[in-house]
Structure 1
Amino acid sequence: MKDVVRPASTAALLLRVLLIVSLAGAAQGQIIDGRFQDHGNGTLTDQQTGLTWMRCSLGQQWNGVSCSGGASRHTWDNAMTLAQGLEFAGHTDWRLPTRDELNTIVHCSSDQRSGFNSNGYGGHCLGNFLKPTVLAAAFPNTPDTWYWSSSNYGTSNVNAWVVGSGDGALSGSYRSTPLRVRMVRGGH
């Protein structure tokens, strides 16, 4: 008896398509590390803070699985201006996060972090920790370098707070220095 290969019926084909679509939808609603709700569009919401983050740094592109391409560098003034006209994932209210907001996504895999001095500097990850110091499943391919916050450093008009994804530290930097940027929405 000869094997006969028959084309799949329309119903069987439709069932396969629905299964694939439902699996993709399941990934969209996935909770990462018990904390971040993945929206499937390059954004996720931190269930602890209510903030919605871009998963990729500016300059990178979300490809449905990860962030690809190189993260661009911007001066503080340029980053603030870019946020004002940014449209992403159907939203136009993106902004540069505050120092405290950006600090909420620092993840020291060693579960050890230094304290902060009286000026607010510090917070370095201690011990044997992974770089970058953000949760890679939530923020894939994040460069381990400094990121701008929207927060002024004290009363200075030339410095702003930055957070390092190389060691989790908070510090200040000249606003004219080109650094990386990750946008957020919500909160305040």
Structure 2
Amino acid sequence: MKSLVVIAGVCMVMGAVPLRADVPLPRFTRTEPGAGYPVVADVATGLVWQGCAAGLTGSGCTGSAWTMTWQAALDYCQDSTWAGFTDWYLPNVNELRSIVDNQRVSPSIDPTVFPATPSTGFWSSSSYAGSASFAWTVYFNAGYVNPNYAKTSTFYVRCVRRGP
């Protein structure tokens, strides 16, 4: 009888304890659908990012990152066939700002998901309303945005597409 009470007690306790904890899914998923050309899916926004800045390739994003003018950045993304996709575009300032990780600095982005990201300015497609010859940039050293650069300046580029 005593062992029956113990077994019943254990069953009651086990029934009250969840068998698994609800662990949140990671926000970003990095895959490599084209050899050497990783992509990062963002479950929060539904966007898919090039896993490396322009000029870098491979799982560790090696090589030399490229800087280019704003128009060259628009053209680069539009013409990109990264990982076999042809619908890349230069992100707007809000899309680009969405991958900033404010818990990090230099770079202010998750380095396991976006390795070798330069800790400086990246172009967005957003023109500055105060002057059509200026565009917004996002700085990945501290995650801030800046509209005060002429489109003839050169900055880094990371293209995006709508998922999946």
- Structure 1 gaps of 5+ residues are 1-32, 110-128
- Summarize deviations over 1:49-88 as a string: whole Å, max 9, x none: 00000010001112xx310011100000111111221111
What code does the residue aligned with 2:135 have?
A: A
- From the two aligned structures, give the one with the greater strand fraction: 2
Q: Which residue of 1 aligns with 2:132?
A: 157
What code does the residue aligned with 1:71 have?
A: A
Q: Which residue of 2 aligns with 1:34?
A: 26
Percent identical among aligned pairs is 36
| C-alpha displacement of 1:38 | 1.9
Q: Which residue of 1 aligns with 2:141?
A: 166
Scaled by the length of structure 1, what TM-score is found?
0.68
**Partners of 1:76 and 1:69 in 2: how far apart?**
22
Q: Which residue of 2 aligns with 1:147?
A: 122
Q: Does 1:104 align with 2:98?
A: yes
Q: Which residue of 1 aligns with 2:56?
A: 60
- Summarize deviations over 1:87-125 as a string: whole Å, max 9, x none: 11110000100000000000022xxxxxxxxxxxxxxxx
Structure 1: which 4+ aligned runs deviate by more than 4 Å? Answer: none
**Partners of 2:88 and 2:70 in 1: how far apart?**
15
Q: Which residue of 1 aligns with 2:10?
A: none
**Partners of 2:89 and 2:77 in 1: how far apart?**
5
**Partners of 2:154 and 2:28 in 1: how far apart?**
29
Q: Which residue of 1 aligns with 2:47?
A: 51
**Partners of 1:150 and 1:83 in 2: how far apart?**
10
**Partners of 2:150 and 2:79 in 1: how far apart?**
24
Q: Secondary structure at the match of 2:125?
A: strand
| C-alpha displacement of 1:40 | 2.3
**Partners of 2:105 and 2:102 in 1: how far apart?**
7
Q: Does 1:137 align with 2:112?
A: yes
Q: Secondary structure at the match of 1:79?
A: helix
- Structure 2 gaps of 5+ residues are 1-24
Q: Is the Cα contact below 8 Å between 2:124 and 2:135 reproduced in 1? A: yes
RMSD: 1.4
Q: Is the Cα contact below 8 Å between 2:78 and 2:90 reproduced in 1? A: no
What code does the residue aligned with 1:138 have?
A: V
What code does the residue aligned with 2:123 have?
A: W
Scaled by the length of structure 2, what TM-score is found?
0.78
Q: Which residue of 2 aligns with 1:181?
A: 157
- Match among 79, 85, 96 for residue 85 of structure 1: 79
